[in-house]
């Protein structure tokens, strides 16, 4: 058997994938850094401000490229983590990198076992090996399903406000977006099933469910999911359940996997997951999806033309994270929950954030801020004109020329904080801005203080 680093391949992969790498790391950098920084003593410290500048990160580097270094103090846009990676994952990737061949690989049984155990341990959900397929990210799997299950050029339902990237995915699949706007009742978004039913026709055979919902954070209850499922089943609509944010659930709430609410619902759905939001693996390009319905899976794989390959590093990161990351996830989630408490307290303390309304969400690490009270002041017709001219002079496409886009521009220019404009999240998003709070608390504090100072100047 071939050897590398003095070990045979089987032992090497075993060592990479499973054992307690944190303790094996001993005085390794990630472990000792967390401790020396006065962190948790567990080898990580979410309070650490860890620079992501200079590695082509979308959140930092793209924002800096667009607005200039002096303008970006705290970017709070794209949904990934500003925390360091789980130390065991880093160690495993470093170890894999020393084996200097990156040719085609199969996905080992241990990869699937890690997924199966994670689902069983965290959500009490049984997922069988033969139900699972890999995907390079969440959207490619979903695109394959849409292509396979919907009529050509058909419509895919989105319950808005919801994740902006779904629209691009639907377009890539060759489909059209059909929005089923939700209603805000007592501070919580509710699905409008009557409206949904009126939109379902022969052209519409897929609905994308986002649970927990990005951007507004609802963790849908079993009853809500069943009511949705009943409507969908009546019309032969397959539920494509995006559960990428499922590990971020705030105190007092619960994530309910769509596949757990009953046999008939599981049988008429596909669930899409990834460790990417949970652990910060987005650019390792690894995700998976599952369904107990063989026909739906075969259609996705064959009709949808799905490529189930995975890169060497993604699969190791996913496996190690699921094998060793449970405590890390509990800790990071608690930290984010604390950030939400801080944010809610800050926004609602008298005078701190005039024009902004906010209450704590059930899940995700995204805050959906109701900024309608700011619209007149920061995106008046006059300001829209200034914004328009600036966009034109910078040679930018005008598609982002919305009142929320203008508000986002004003916020960057006046506070150094970058948020996502609500306008890309569909009907119901007017006057909203999305803020990613998976960042060290000190950075959150800086962002809020800067916003507070900018808003105060408005009078």
Residues that bind ligand PLP (CB under 6 A): 79, 137-139, 163, 165, 210, 214, 242, 244-245, 274, 276, 282, 287
In the complex with ligand PLP, the residue whose CB is nearer, 34 or 363, is 363
In the complex with ligand PLP, the residue whose CB is nearer, 253 or 445, is 253
In the complex with ligand PLP, the residue whose CB is nearer, 242 or 247, is 242
In the complex with ligand PLP, the residue whose CB is nearer, 276 or 391, is 276
In the complex with ligand PLP, the residue whose CB is nearer, 214 or 256, is 214
Give 6-15's long-range contacts (Cβ < 8 A, gap of 24+): 9/99, 12/95, 12/99, 13/108, 15/95
Contact 258, 209 (CB under 8 A): yes
Report, in Å, the least distance between residue 189 CB and ligand PLP: 14
Quickly count helices (H) and strands (E) in the chain.
19, 16
Report, in Å, the least distance between residue 440 CB and ligand PLP: 20
Three-state DSSP at 392 gives: helix
Main-chain phi, psi angles of 208, to 5 degrees: -95, 120
CA end-to-end distance (rounded Å), the chain: 74
Report, in Å, the least distance between residue 366 CB and ligand PLP: 8
Q: Give the Cα-Cα-Cα angle 251, 41, 47 (nearest 5 degrees).
A: 60
In the complex with ligand PLP, the residue whose CB is nearer, 119 or 446, is 119
CA dihedral 11, 13, 15, 20 (to 10 degrees): -150
Report, in Å, the least distance between residue 141 CB and ligand PLP: 8
| CA distances to 65, 145, 204, 224, 428 from 183, in Å | 37, 28, 22, 14, 8
Report, in Å, the least distance between residue 252 CB and ligand PLP: 22
Q: Which residue in this structure is represented by tokens 């319905």?
A: 293
Report, in Å, the least distance between residue 138 CB and ligand PLP: 3
How far is Cα 227 from Cα 280, in angstroms, rounded to an integer?
33
Report, in Å, the least distance between residue 245 CB and ligand PLP: 6
Contact 107, 134 (CB under 8 A): yes
């Amino acid at each position: 058997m071939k050897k590398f680093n003095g070990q045979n391949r089987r032992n090497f992969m075993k060592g990479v994938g499973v054992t307690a790498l944190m303790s094996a790391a001993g005085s390794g950098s990630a472990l000792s850094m967390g401790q020396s920084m006065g962190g948790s003593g567990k080898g990580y410290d979410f309070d650490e401000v860890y620079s992501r500048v200079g590695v082509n990160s979308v959140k930092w580097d793209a924002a800096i490229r667009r607005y200039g270094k002096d303008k970006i103090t705290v970017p709070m846009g794209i949904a990934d983590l500003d925390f360091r990676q789980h130390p065991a994952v880093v160690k495993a990737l470093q170890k894999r990198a020393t084996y200097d061949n990156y040719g085609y690989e199969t996905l080992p049984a241990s990869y699937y076992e890690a997924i199966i155990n994670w689902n069983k341990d965290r959500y009490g959900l049984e997922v069988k090996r033969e139900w699972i397929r890999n995907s390079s990210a969440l959207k490619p799997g979903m695109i394959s399903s849409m292509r396979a299950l919907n009529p050509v050029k058909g419509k895919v339902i989105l319950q808005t406000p919801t994740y902006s990237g779904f629209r691009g995915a639907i377009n890539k699949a060759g489909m059209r977006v059909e929005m089923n706007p939700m209603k805000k009742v007592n501070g919580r978004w509710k699905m409008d099933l009557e409206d949904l039913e009126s939109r379902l026709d022969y052209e519409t055979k897929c609905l994308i469910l986002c649970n927990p919902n990005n951007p507004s954070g609802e963790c849908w209850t079993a009853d809500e999911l069943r009511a949705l499922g009943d409507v969908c089943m009546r019309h032969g609509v397959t539920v494509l359940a995006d559960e990428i944010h499922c590990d971020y659930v705030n105190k007092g709430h619960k994530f309910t996997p769509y596949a757990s609410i009953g046999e008939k619902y599981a049988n008429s759905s596909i669930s899409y997951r990834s460790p990417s939001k949970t652990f910060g693996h987005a650019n390792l390009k690894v995700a998976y999806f599952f369904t107990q319905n063989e026909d739906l899976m075969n259609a996705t794989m064959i009709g949808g033309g799905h490529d189930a390959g995975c890169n060497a590093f993604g699969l190791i990161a996913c496996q190690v994270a699921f094998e060793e990351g449970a405590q890390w996830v509990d800790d990071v989630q608690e930290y984010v929950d604390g950030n939400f408490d801080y944010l809610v307290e800050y926004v609602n303390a008298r005078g701190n954030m005039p024009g902004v309304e906010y209450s704590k969400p059930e899940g995700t690490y995204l805050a959906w801020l109701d900024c309608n009270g700011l619209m007149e002041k920061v995106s008046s017709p006059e300001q829209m004109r200034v914004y328009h001219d600036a966009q034109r002079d910078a040679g930018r496409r005008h598609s982002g020329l919305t009142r929320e886009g203008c508000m986002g521009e004003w916020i960057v220019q006046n506070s150094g904080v970058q948020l996502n404009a609500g306008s890309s999240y569909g009907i119901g998003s007017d006057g909203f801005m999305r803020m990613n709070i998976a960042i060290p608390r000190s950075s959150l504090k800086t962002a809020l203080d800067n916003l507070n100072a900018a808003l105060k100047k408005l009078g």
